[in-house]
Amino acid sequence: MKSRLPVVTKAFMARFWISVMRTPLFRAPGSILAARSGGCGKSRVMLSVSAPPITGTPQPPWFPRRPRTARTSSNGVKNASMSSSARNRADRLRMAGGLARGGRKRPSSWPALLAAGFFGLSGCGTVGSAVNSVVGSNAPPEGQQGHVRGFLGGVVADEPRAALVGREVLSAGGTAVDAAVAAGFAMAVTLPSRTGLGGGGACLVFNRERGSTEAVLFPATAPSPAGPVGDRPAAVPMLARGLFALHTRLPGRPFNELMAPAEQLARFGATTSRALAQDLAAVAGPLLADPPARAVFTGPNGQPLAEGEQLVQPDLGGALSALRVAGVGDLYQGAMARRLVELSARAGGPLTLEDLRPAVPVVAKPLEMRVGSDLLAFLPLPADGGLAGAAAFQALQSGAGVDAASQRGLAVSRTWRERGGEAASLLANPPPLDGPVPALPASASLVTLDKDGNAASCAFTLNNLFGTGRVVPQLGFVMAAAPNRGRVEPPLLAAALAYNANLRAFRYAGAATGQGAAPIALALPAARALLNGSPVAEAVAAVPAPGSANAISCPRYLPGSESRCTAAADPRGFGLALIGGQ
């Protein structure tokens, strides 16, 4: 909050501060000011208790004095020679500032003690921040970039611009969940080959204040089989409601504020990333046969967008704007829902209002296992990528090799899909892998951490690369492919979070993609970081292809050791990892 104190008051406080800085306690070499790095952020000036002894230090008039007792000299004789009148005169001199040797008056130190007490009460606050609280600060207000000084947290995402959007939210004072929401919407614009408004996903959230985790599940499920059928069966879009539900778990900034960066990227254009350019090149033929898709994903020369070219999506920008103003519910039971029912049929994947209205995310308890003194949480069923990741981690923990651990994770997931069962039973008695594992759909992931130690780990998907391969006309987003229709299988969404419940502290967060390699891509970095103490970059680099991982690790936990926190994006991918301060 900006200071509104009168100018006279500010001037008085400035003079007071100058008098404080001139006192011996502040001027003595190595005394009360010491630069150090601590729990509140980057290196800063803090009050230290290493000041010179204050025995006999002059005190302010209101300071309570203990009754004077006779002192014993070095020869054991009590010194009671000073008369009461002499003591009174000496006391008055002390209160006035005291006398130095040679009769020179020395400056009073009580303003320094008062300042030390005042600033000490602020806990993590620095001298500068305490002064700013009185005379005003030049830091931007909350909600604007630069509001947070020092350690911000971290963001790792499969698409660089989305990672930057998440970091901007952290810089403005947002939580890890705020950053995940904003980055999730941004990635729906900048990486529409793997995620988007037409898709879904799943997230884990660590709430440091509670010392616990939650899972938010919002998979893009198939519509009712009783409804109309098209040539490109589409899933029920769940991203908007899913990110709204995620935001409710740890809100900081307003939800509509978090949608704004994605809207601007869609309206005014975003640079085509290497990840998107590679995906476009892989499916350009069938994708660009759809006129709305061709209008979005080709350049002026009619060719698929190349890395560095501008991707402008005005229809998607309009849809995001409408949702920001009217609320995400409009996509499920409002004017936009009715438009989607009409336009989805034109895109070959008809949906009905009966499909849209009841489609709501689920908040569930994660699947957890103990790793030393920490708890490691995975996405719970029906997000069976979490089950597969847990089985692979369990195998690595017991000494299995990477290939064997990967096979175990996939076998457990396949068994659950075919026969069902409880996660605990499947993990206790992992079945053998029977037959080849089919290629699973493309997905995207991100991980966020804020300065307070809250964290989020998410995986998103369209159930196929570019979903159905059709863009909803006038709304501008790619429709996700309906799972379990034709050759489309639900993806293995893989995310994990480690924390210490007793300390209420964050330890590790990871998310992974890569079709059938996603479970081992999730488990291997977690095992190396948590069991072996490997640096997170080294742990992520060990992931076998075609898996890809994003991770953030704080080996000595957060809060309290932000200088040891590191982040890594898979070096074979095209994502971006950001962590640290302004």
Domain ranges of the chain: 7-62+86-135, 151-581
Q: Which helix (H) or strand (E) holds 121?
A: none
Count the Cβ atoms, other than its own, within 10 Å of residue 43: 12
β-partners of residue 447 are 156, 457
Sheet holding 566-569, edge to edge: 367-371, 374-378, 494-500, 505-513, 548-558, 566-569
**Dihedral of the alpha carbons of 136, 137, 141, 142, in degrees to the nearest 10:** -110
The most distant pair of C-alpha atoms in the chain lies apart, rounded to whole Å, by 108
- The pLDDT score that the predictor gives to residue 103 is 41
- The pLDDT score that the predictor gives to residue 9 is 55
Give CA 531 to chain center in angstroms: 23
Residue that has been written with the tokens 């599940």 in this structure: 217
Decide: helix, strand or coil at residue 45. Answer: strand
Amino acid at 410: L
Amino acid at 206: F
**pTM, two decimal places:** 0.77
CA 306/CA 41 separation, integer angstroms = 40
- The pLDDT score that the predictor gives to residue 35 is 35
Residue that has been written with the tokens 């402008």 in this structure: 312
CA 412/CA 405 separation, integer angstroms = 11
- The pLDDT score that the predictor gives to residue 12 is 56
CATH 3.30.70.100 fits 151-581, yes or no: no
CA 480/CA 327 separation, integer angstroms = 21
Give CA 517 to chain center in angstroms: 24
Give exposure, 356-366, as e/b (b: 16+ Cβ within 10 Å).
Answer: beebebeebeb
Decide: helix, strand or coil at residue 566. Answer: strand
Pairing type for strands 44-47 and 362-364 reads unpaired
- The pLDDT score that the predictor gives to residue 50 is 34
- The pLDDT score that the predictor gives to residue 515 is 82
Question: pLDDT tens track of the chain, all 582 residues?
Answer: 444 555 545 555 555 555 544 544 444 444 333 333 333 433 333 333 333 333 444 444 333 444 443 444 333 433 444 444 444 444 443 333 333 333 444 444 444 444 444 443 333 433 444 444 444 457 788 888 889 999 999 999 999 999 999 999 999 999 999 999 999 999 999 999 999 999 999 999 999 999 999 999 999 999 998 889 899 999 999 999 999 999 999 999 999 999 999 999 999 999 999 999 999 999 999 999 999 999 999 999 999 999 999 999 999 999 999 999 999 999 999 999 999 999 999 999 999 999 999 999 999 999 999 999 999 999 998 988 999 999 999 999 999 999 999 989 888 877 767 676 667 666 666 666 555 555 545 899 999 999 999 999 999 999 999 999 999 999 999 999 999 887 778 889 999 999 999 999 999 999 999 888 999 999 999 999 999 999 999 999 999 988 999 999 999 999 989 999 999 999 888 999 999 986
The answer to whether residues 476 and 317 touch, using CB atoms and an 8 Å cutoff, is yes
The answer to whether residues 262 and 186 touch, using CB atoms and an 8 Å cutoff, is yes
Decide: helix, strand or coil at residue 94. Answer: helix
